[in-house]
Structure 1
């Protein structure tokens, strides 16, 4: 199958000389990539690849993007417009339209898929017109992130910055030594390395500690080989060897062990997993392949300092460095960068016709089996057999949630207004008289209905009137789940979950700072919460535990039933299905953002979202009324 999107990518490096054994990482020669467009005075510090895209960052605010096909200037590398001339040392992001670059004077840039924006750093003294001597201008040298969408950037004076999925904040560092490398491990653990043999560890609770390293190495690189083994690279001055030497150090079982090799090495700059071993780059064009305590020097055909490694999707790699250097050992790295697309798996979901193109926010199944959906501009839909009918609009305001009490249908959303439908027309049932949005509802009977929303809003209807409850928070509450009136949970901003015991609401610590958008369970000992950047947490009756999903998408809703099982949905048509104790991705057949999911008692599952999307995973359709 050919890649029709960018045929130039398949041919771009076809004229590079090959090798009689290119699959052997110790034998394949490395050669400079032609037609890059970076000048000889440019230092390229790092790069990122994903989604078939490639970005390289360097001095003078340089960001280069490989576009594959010749542009108007005849080049296949595009120099991007960046709002700074400061050197950029590192780049990371979960997706092509959500990238961060860090560099000199503490600058942090963000790319949203369209343009780069300066978020932080580069503060100018208004009086002198020079960079201000402030903490925000502390230079940053490395960045890395995890599958949950969190990231850490490190730099001079022990600076550690944390991105929680929404904003950057400084974390308490146990050192003031200059830091040069960072790598993320499982469960939000992080390792950082720097000068004077400094190695730091962040545990899953967010606490930083300094590991006891007896070596004086200036570490520039580190690689997590497994849960408790680190490989560190750098260099230091050795008196007995009469000069500066590069050094590889292994940290295992709480002990640092320098690795000894016959050939002296220069300062080592980067380490990356590569073809079953480790690719290592350093000063003066030195390239090494390390595996099973053996170090092989590679043919680099270069004498310039090499700064970093970009591993491509198929395991091939690029190396970037001084004098605008970009090198590869691949005969055609573009095939590795953008492999031919594979045929998509068949989806068990089908698209339903609906009489609206409005965004749909909510979905509910009534006790009698009737299904309702709601959304923008007063949209309320009712499923009759296999056909959706549009009910009269309660108002022009967006409806985020509906709830059928059995004695009337409630609809709530913008401006804190709740409407009631008697089967023929809507009437305003409650007006909060505040610009707060109600986001979720649940009720146990016509005499007990709850609603939650912006700024910690919690309302309760006792059959006579709505009254506001004390929540103890100003954070938004997005999802609401309950077994009964004495066992209820609400999920919200920065990992917040509130628990209701029939008397008052109290915080229920989940152990994440990511936003949580929904919560569901089938018992008090089996509860799930979903949220930002694939966040998925499970409560087993005793404690919460984060579950690895490896998703970039936000999970926005979760639901389950005995007949259908459990499902979670999110942005970009993302669907997860619970099988045993594992959440598996399932093709939805749609790229629309899915805002709500409902697993019905009959076994059918419905997912709704952007552009009036309604998907059904057939079981037995909702009861016709």
Structure 2
């Protein structure tokens, strides 16, 4: 995989910003974590620590799982057959959740997976939980009827409905769910952001620039959360503990992925292999590299010790992807 170096500081502004800035070399180093091989795209990455990392993906009809044990990467062939797998999250080495196309849900760990019945064949795009007894799964077909919201209480899976009064975007899909400090948020189609209040999901305003899909979110504290999205061009939204503020930075393509390597460093990625970093405190964006211009970066995860893993994928024929690793210099 050839990595084309690019470093560019751009302004994070509203739609009228000119995005001018200075260029220069430097910053973290990106490379290939391992050779995916075959006709397979990658979509999700998560780990419980530096020696327990999962990547998931697949092709049009088959899901695939890779696992890193601190020494090497290997394909996990123990899981039941599924459609393409999209997202992974867990609570430890033996408590991992994976979701995907066709209502796929897997729970367990390498060598010991249980397949759950989602009660739907809608695509499932995200999973997150506050605890093993409080897991949320989101999804839905962007051309379908309504978003999918599922909750697992440690024993059973229950479907939840989003009140149309809390969905003025008429969004039909939710793409990710994430929480911190006792609060849980989900983001989705057409700029929809919702929060669970303990009884129902409630829509949150995010500003005029929240007019395109939000695809992912992550944070370090309740007053330091970053959501990313946009299809043709980027959308970035930050949460200060009480309100969301959304911008549409220039010179940045649509974004799919975000993880935080620290309070002031969100690592972000998106269309055509673009990766960079965003400082929520200053709104500065620094483009780092174009890691794989033939596919899009779909997920990023920081291991807490200076390494960020990422995945890219091309989800039409021919399926292909790249396993990425970013190290601090």
TM-score by length of 2: 0.77
1:405 pairs, out of 84, 91, 105, with 91
Aligned partner of 1:352 in structure 2 is 33
Aligned partner of 2:325 in structure 1 is 616
Greater gyration radius: 1
- Give deviations 1:322-368, integer Å, cap 9, x for gaps: xxxxxxxxxxxxxxxxxxxx999787111122344411111112268
For the 8 Å contact 2:15–2:249, the answer to whether it is kept is no
Matched, 1:584 2:286: yes
Of residues 587-596 and 419-428 in structure 1, the stretch that sits farther from structure 2 once superposed is: 419-428
Question: Offset at 1:412?
Answer: 1.4
Aligned partner of 2:305 in structure 1 is 602
Alignment gaps of 5+ in structure 1 = 1-146, 149-185, 190-223, 227-341, 621-625
- Give deviations 1:394-419, integer Å, cap 9, x for gaps: 31411111223334322211121312
CA distance in 1 between partners of 2:24 and 2:203 (Å): 46
2:174 pairs, out of 477, 488, 498, with 477
Aligned partner of 2:199 in structure 1 is 503
For the 8 Å contact 1:595–1:609, the answer to whether it is kept is yes
1:439 pairs, out of 125, 147, 155, with 125
CA distance in 2 between partners of 1:386 and 1:593 (Å): 27
Alignment gaps of 5+ in structure 2 = 1-10, 141-145, 314-319
2:226 pairs, out of 506, 517, 528, with 528
Identify if the C-alpha distance between structure 1 residues 514 and 353 changes in structure 2 by more than 3 Å, giving closer, same or farther: same
Aligned partner of 2:154 in structure 1 is 463
For the 8 Å contact 1:531–1:554, the answer to whether it is kept is yes
Identify if the C-alpha distance between structure 1 residues 509 and 603 changes in structure 2 by more than 3 Å, giving closer, same or farther: same
- Give deviations 1:284-311, integer Å, cap 9, x for gaps: xxxxxxxxxxxxxxxxxxxxxxxxxxxx
Question: Offset at 1:590?
Answer: 2.9
CA distance in 1 between partners of 2:29 and 2:219 (Å): 24
CA distance in 2 between partners of 1:437 and 1:394 (Å): 17
Q: Tell me the secondary structure at the aligned position of residue 34 of structure 2.
A: coil
More strand by share: 2
1:220-299 correspondence to structure 2 within 5 Å: none
CA distance in 2 between partners of 1:521 and 1:396 (Å): 30
CA distance in 2 between partners of 1:410 and 1:401 (Å): 8
CA distance in 2 between partners of 1:397 and 1:614 (Å): 20
For the 8 Å contact 1:347–1:587, the answer to whether it is kept is no
CA distance in 2 between partners of 1:424 and 1:551 (Å): 44
Identify if the C-alpha distance between structure 1 residues 469 and 425 changes in structure 2 by more than 3 Å, giving closer, same or farther: same
1:26-37 correspondence to structure 2 within 5 Å: none
2:247 pairs, out of 543, 547, 550, with 547
Runs of 4+ with deviation above 4 angstroms: 342-347
1:556 pairs, out of 249, 252, 256, with 256
- Give deviations 1:260-300, integer Å, cap 9, x for gaps: xxxxxxxxxxxxxxxxxxxxxxxxxxxxxxxxxxxxxxxxx
Aligned partner of 2:138 in structure 1 is 452
Question: Offset at 1:444?
Answer: 2.4
Count of residues in correspondence between the two structures: 285
- Give deviations 1:190-233, integer Å, cap 9, x for gaps: xxxxxxxxxxxxxxxxxxxxxxxxxxxxxxxxxx9x9xxxxxxx
For the 8 Å contact 2:258–2:268, the answer to whether it is kept is yes
CA distance in 2 between partners of 1:442 and 1:458 (Å): 12
CA distance in 2 between partners of 1:344 and 1:522 (Å): 28
Matched, 1:487 2:187: no
For the 8 Å contact 2:28–2:327, the answer to whether it is kept is no
CA distance in 2 between partners of 1:544 and 1:408 (Å): 32
2:102 pairs, out of 415, 429, 432, with 415
The CA RMSD over aligned residues, in Å, is: 3.0
Identify if the C-alpha distance between structure 1 residues 387 and 431 changes in structure 2 by more than 3 Å, giving closer, same or farther: same
CA distance in 1 between partners of 2:199 and 2:222 (Å): 18
Question: Offset at 1:509?
Answer: 1.1
CA distance in 1 between partners of 2:205 and 2:178 (Å): 16
For the 8 Å contact 1:518–1:558, the answer to whether it is kept is yes
Q: Tell me the secondary structure at the aligned position of residue 366 of structure 1.
A: strand
Higher relative contact order (CA 8 A, sep 6+): 2
Identify if the C-alpha distance between structure 1 residues 618 and 586 changes in structure 2 by more than 3 Å, giving closer, same or farther: same
Q: Tell me the secondary structure at the aligned position of residue 272 of structure 2.
A: helix
Aligned partner of 2:6 in structure 1 is none
1:57-76 correspondence to structure 2 within 5 Å: none
Q: Tell me the secondary structure at the aligned position of residue 430 of structure 1.
A: coil
For the 8 Å contact 1:354–1:612, the answer to whether it is kept is no
Identify if the C-alpha distance between structure 1 residues 612 and 384 changes in structure 2 by more than 3 Å, giving closer, same or farther: farther
Q: Tell me the secondary structure at the aligned position of residue 436 of structure 1.
A: coil
